[in-house]
Amino acid sequence: QAKAAGRNTIRFFNPQMESMVTMRVAMESELRTAVDRKEFTVHYQPQVDTHKGVYGIEALVRWQHPQRGLVSPADFIPIAEETGLILPIGDAVLETACQQLREWSELPCYGDLSISVNVSAHQFRNPAFVDRVSALVNRHAVKPDRLKLELTESLLLENVEEAVAKMNQLKAHGVDFSLDDFGTGYSSLAYLKRLPLEQLKIDRSFVHDVLTDANDAAIIRTIIALGNSLGLDVIAEGVETEAQRDFLVANGCSCYQGYLYSRPLAIEQLSMLLQF
């Protein structure tokens, strides 16, 4: 016991904590196995322009766990980040996305579809990142501008110089960038203008209460104005109702993704939705 161990010993383990640690250790080793067994799959959520229809798709990873079923990224990405397992997982998602782009590019009506892939800090920081992505883009003959990488403010702020350099290298290979969850991080307008971005993505937390919270409405209007004046596309995420969409359209943002149009879907369901 802690007391027996001496006055200055802090007994920081209780049974709940112990079981959390056990779970965490189990999760980590299961994740490793999952990487070896390729248990990850990608779901796809359409990005819609109210004038033109579906123009892009966001790739969202899921863990097809043999017992627990589909595990959401929120439950395993943080651990994958900490352990570095995000590298093989992220590679697999990028590979799948590029393969999918290749298939779409061969279908007459879907040749213009773009795909957005989330990139985490650990992946982006990796010195081999640019080479990995450009190798994939070349191998799958991805057309320029069809692959969009979603980065977050915190990731870019870690080292702005380095981020800008990496982004420019990738841009030379035809890769585009979107700033995900925009508005939730520590944005500085000074660095924002230096980043070679194509798109700002309004975080869904602002969209959620836009009709009842005047501050959220003001933030959304500001992001749209900012995007317009910097020459960036703006898309809103987490649009669940027609009223939310109507607010966005009335304020000059015609692109959105969210449950209103479709949840993220397995590829077969997406194909049915889009009538491939």
Which residues contribute to the site for ligand C2E (CB under 6 A)? 45, 60-61, 72-74, 77, 86, 90, 93, 118-120, 150, 180-181, 204, 237-240, 257-259, 264
d(CA 122, CA 230): 28
Residues 6+ positions from 262 with CB-CB distance below 8 Å:
45, 46, 273
Nearer to ligand C2E, 77 or 234 (CB): 77
**From candidates 30, 39, 180, 216, binder to Mg ion by CB under 5 A:** 180
The residue among 92, 113, 95 whose CA lies nearest residue 104 is: 113
Q: Which does 13 bind (CB under 5 to 8 A by kind): ligand C2E, Mg ion, none?
A: none
Q: Among 84, 99, 8, 57, which residue's Cα sits nearest to residue 235?
A: 57
Least spacing, CB of residue 150 vs Mg ion, in Å: 4
Cβ-based nearer residue to Mg ion, 30 or 118: 118
DSSP code, position 138: H
* Secondary element (H or E) of residue 73: helix 73-83
CA distance linking residue 221 with residue 224, whole number of Å: 5
Shortest approach of Mg ion to residue 3 CB, angstroms? 45
| Cα 184 from Cα 181, distance rounded (Å) | 6
User: 219: closest CA among 250, 184, 246?
Assistant: 184
**What is the token pair recorded at 69?**
């079923």
Q: For residues 106 and 242, which CB has a smaller minimum distance to ligand C2E in the complex?
A: 242
For residue 178, state whether it binds Mg ion (rule: CB under 5 A).
Answer: no
Q: Find which of ligand C2E, Mg ion, none residue 73 binds, CB within 5 to 8 Å per kind.
A: ligand C2E
Can you tell me which of 118, 120, 123, 262 binds Mg ion, judged by CB under 5 A? 118
Taking the least distance from each CB to ligand C2E, the nearer of 75 and 145 is 75
**Structure tokens that stand for 120 in this block:** 């985490």
Residue 10 or 74 with smaller CB distance to ligand C2E: 74
Length of the chain counted residue by residue: 276
Minimum distance of ligand C2E from residue 38's CB (angstroms): 14
Rule CB under 5 A: say whether 150 interacts with Mg ion: yes
Binding site for Mg ion (CB under 5 A): 118, 150, 180-181, 237
